[in-house]
Amino acid sequence: MDLDLVKSEDIRNIAIIAHVDHGKTTLVDAMLRQSGTFRENEQVDERVMDSNDLEKERGITILAKNTSLYHNGVKINIIDTPGHADFGGEVERGLEMVDGVLLLVDAFEGCMPQTRFVLSKALALDLKPIIVVNKVDRPNARPYEVVDEVLELFIDLGATDEQLDTPVIYASGRDGWATAEYNPEQPNKDLKELFDLIVREIPCPKCDGEGSFQMLVSNIDYDDYTGRIAVGKIERGSVSVGMPVSICRQNGKTAHAKVTKIFTYEGLSKQTVDEAGAGDVAALSGIPDINIGETICAADAPEPLPFVKIDEPVLSMTFSVNDSPFAGKDGKFVTSRHLRDRLFRELDSNIALRVEETDTTEAFIVSGRGELHLSVLIENMRREGYEFQVSNPVVIYKEIDGQQCEPVERLTVDVPDEYTGTIMDSIIQRKGEMTDMHPTTQNYTRLEFLIPSRGLIGYRNEMLTATKGTGVINSILEKYEPYKGEMQGRSRGALIAWEDGESITYGLYNAQERGTLFIGPNVKVYEGMIIGENARAEDIVVNVCKKKHVTNTRSSSADEALRLVPPRQMSLEQCLEFIADDELLEVTPNYLRMRKRILKTDLRAKSKNKK
């Protein structure tokens, strides 16, 4: 399908930024529906932009995505960005392609840690903001208070007078309406006011339509037929099919290639075009080894553009080849070569990730923004058929002015009033310092802390247990500060399998008196595998394969009378939070098994005695 070249004055490039779960993807859904992007009778999923399986299951956005719609002849390119701090790299590179942002804020929750992060990035790039107070129809909504909070945040982040003079619109993404004059009794019918505001307030791209072609690569797409596809905003000139181009590499070298296909975003799909012009977001194929951050230029004018500085990783884990007794029984890709190729391939599109080789070919150090960032990579790899082991996450220290410094996060916890004391005690034990405390709604308090990143490892589950599942926790990297000293690790030990075999009700019944089990009967186990959590601080070895002796007076069928407590089902994130320094998580397509690094009980005891 060939489309006319869109002039830059008829283009608006915007990103939708917000804290996680404030309704970005749902609002984009409504915008696409009301702009006529879908046919009247077309069946479309909810949160249609969350196309990845993991995104659908978790209800979160992981990858920044492009779409577009038309309003009164103006093309609006939209980038839907993630809300989790762990995927900040996706936000940062998405902001490179736009001239303005819709800052979405929940009308009940108000400003959250990630709101601060995404807004600070947008203001630093001097992007025009529009404040969208979303979910104004939810119970306990406080839209006008939230607007005051947002403006205070603008001032706190050093916004200019021009940035402070930002328009505000009230919306319900779920019901598909927006209005500048909110009246709870008479909500609006549609999003027309929002579309008009975007066209009126967001500047058209500042670019030169006449100069020689120049485009910064902000994203990489992939197609089985055409290979790597470079995505970015055309800063200058235009590009046509068959045109020879120069690629300015990040190492300062220049390469040459020819553009074989050009795509622009039309609704949810990419449409083939013969030519794309300045200001538009385009995707080019024909450049096989292109990378994010490189500049594609006209062949005779290679001029690189600066790429946004991506924040450094704060957590690292060791990924290694699986060497457990069950190695190779479940996965399709099990060798160190498979593992190495897959991890380095991830670097092509996951720009906030780092992969380092170690002194052994069997292990690699992988660093990311947080536990969620790394766990999504692990989950994707196991679904693709990879089998491997990972260590517990550890924070990355920096030396600043001759001092060892560690990452410190701004932590926000919303809890019922009755649990505030418990939460404050537990966070102070983890070297946290309280910076703010105020009531949010009836019987709920918001607590704010500065806490070392290592103090948060494993804390989410502890907080949920302490608040009976009612607490909400959010955090974002704030700064690096001098090392805060030793911190208490896991407060409870592990229940460890004594021998290889299959778990039996009788053995489990005796073991459950010692703590909480992670497995039920008829599960294959091996010596050194972690099968539960001890009620006390030390590790303990238990025999879950033990059978009851059959005598004249007792039969083995009496096992059926034994009542087992249902085992605790551990998710990937819970496993990563649980394992200690001397433990590993075995990851296969169908199983997650925690284990000791040293499997043999006697060798573990000798190692402990040496220490």
Question: Same structural domain for residues 179 and 229?
Answer: no
Q: Which residue did the predictor score with more confidence, 130 or 489?
A: 130
Q: Does any domain span residue 599?
A: no
Burial of 147 per CB tally in 10 Å (0-12, 13-18, 19+): middle
Question: Same structural domain for residues 196 and 218?
Answer: no
Record the tokens describing residue 221, joined without a space. Answer: 């797409």
Q: What is the CATH number of the domain that holds 122?
A: 3.40.50.300
pLDDT, tens only, 3-61 = 445 567 888 999 888 877 777 778 888 888 887 654 444 444 444 444 455 544 555 55
Burial of 112 per CB tally in 10 Å (0-12, 13-18, 19+): buried
Q: What is the CATH number of the domain that holds 425?
A: 3.30.70.240
| Whole-angstrom Cα Rg for the chain | 27
Instruction: Report in angstroms the alpha-carbon separations of 428 from 30, 163, 421, 431, 436.
Output: 43, 37, 11, 5, 14
| Contact by Cβ (8 Å): 416, 447 | no
pLDDT, tens only, 350-367 = 778 899 999 999 999 999
**Element spanning 137, H or E:** none
As a whole number of angstroms, the distance between CA 119 and CA 154 comes to 8
As a whole number of angstroms, the distance between CA 413 and CA 277 comes to 47
Q: Does any domain span residue 459?
A: yes
- Please check the confidence at residue 549 and state whether its pLDDT lies above 70: no
Q: What are phi and psi of 583, to 5 degrees?
A: -130, 160
- Listed residue (108, 126, 90, 107) closest to 17, CA to CA: 90
Record the tokens describing residue 185, joined without a space. Answer: 């009794």
Q: Report the percentage of the chain scoring pLDDT > 90.
A: 37
Q: Does any domain span residue 521?
A: no
Per-residue confidence band for 405, with pLDDT thresholds at 50, 70 and 90: very high
Question: Same structural domain for residues 178 and 222?
Answer: no
Residue 551: what pLDDT?
Answer: 56
Record the tokens describing residue 556, joined without a space. Answer: 């083995």
Question: Same structural domain for residues 146 and 224?
Answer: no
| Dihedral (CA of 235, 240, 242, 244) sign | negative
Q: What is the CATH number of the domain that holds 269?
A: 2.40.30.10
Q: Does any domain span residue 305?
A: no
Q: Which residue did the predictor score with more confidence, 93 or 501?
A: 501
Question: Average pLDDT in the 131-153 region?
Answer: 90
Question: Same structural domain for residues 218 and 194?
Answer: no
Q: Does any domain span residue 359?
A: no
Question: Same structural domain for residues 112 and 65?
Answer: yes
Per-residue confidence band for 523, with pLDDT thresholds at 50, 70 and 90: very high
Residue 520: what pLDDT?
Answer: 92
Q: Does any domain span residue 582?
A: no
| Contact by Cβ (8 Å): 93, 218 | yes
pLDDT, tens only, 295-332 = 999 998 889 988 767 778 889 999 999 999 999 999 89
Residue 91: what pLDDT?
Answer: 75
Question: Same structural domain for residues 402 and 260?
Answer: no
Cross-strand pairs, 474: 412
| Boundaries of domain holding 152 | 8-201
Burial of 41 per CB tally in 10 Å (0-12, 13-18, 19+): exposed
Question: Average pLDDT in the 362-379 region?
Answer: 90
Residue with tokens 């936000």: 91
Per-residue confidence band for 456, with pLDDT thresholds at 50, 70 and 90: confident
Helix, strand, coil fractions of the chain, as percent rounded to 5: 25, 30, 45
| Contact by Cβ (8 Å): 392, 576 | yes
Question: Average pLDDT in the 274-280 region?
Answer: 89
Residue 60: what pLDDT?
Answer: 53
Residue 469: what pLDDT?
Answer: 79
Question: Average pLDDT in the 580-601 region?
Answer: 94
Torsion of CA 512, 515, 521, 525, to 10 degrees: -130
Q: Which residue did the predictor score with more confidence, 394 or 44?
A: 394
- State the total domains in the chain: 3
Residue with tokens 């923004």: 369
Residue 386: what pLDDT?
Answer: 96
pTM over 0.85: no
Question: Same structural domain for residues 32 and 179?
Answer: yes
Average pLDDT of every residue of the chain? 84
- Please check the confidence at residue 530 and state whether its pLDDT lies above 50: yes
- Please check the confidence at residue 84 and state whether its pLDDT lies above 70: no
Question: Same structural domain for residues 33 and 177?
Answer: yes
- The one-letter code for the residue type at 452 is P
Question: Same structural domain for residues 110 and 137?
Answer: yes
- Please check the confidence at residue 373 and state whether its pLDDT lies above 60: yes
Question: Same structural domain for residues 139 and 102?
Answer: yes
Question: Average pLDDT in the 378-391 region?
Answer: 94
Residue 40: what pLDDT?
Answer: 44
Which of residues 425, 450, 482 is at a domain's end?
482
- Please check the confidence at residue 609 and state whether its pLDDT lies above 50: yes
Question: Same structural domain for residues 267 and 177?
Answer: no
Residue 63: what pLDDT?
Answer: 56
Residue 552: what pLDDT?
Answer: 52
| Contact by Cβ (8 Å): 433, 450 | yes
- Please check the confidence at residue 411 and state whether its pLDDT lies above 50: yes
Which of residues 458, 482, 506 is at a domain's end?
482
Q: Does any domain span residue 71?
A: yes
pLDDT, tens only, 551-561 = 555 555 555 57
- The one-letter code for the residue type at 267 is G
Residue 250: what pLDDT?
Answer: 80
Which of residues 482, 507, 529 is at a domain's end?
482
pLDDT, tens only, 205-238 = 888 778 899 999 888 877 767 778 888 889 999 9
Q: Does any domain span residue 328?
A: no
As a whole number of angstroms, the distance between CA 504 and CA 494 comes to 19
Residue 55: what pLDDT?
Answer: 47
Instruction: Report in angstroms the alpha-carbon separations of 523 from 426, 544, 562, 591.
Output: 35, 10, 17, 11
As a whole number of angstroms, the distance between CA 466 and CA 534 comes to 18
Q: Which residue did the predictor score with more confidence, 546 or 230?
A: 230
pLDDT, tens only, 496-517 = 999 999 999 989 998 988 999 9
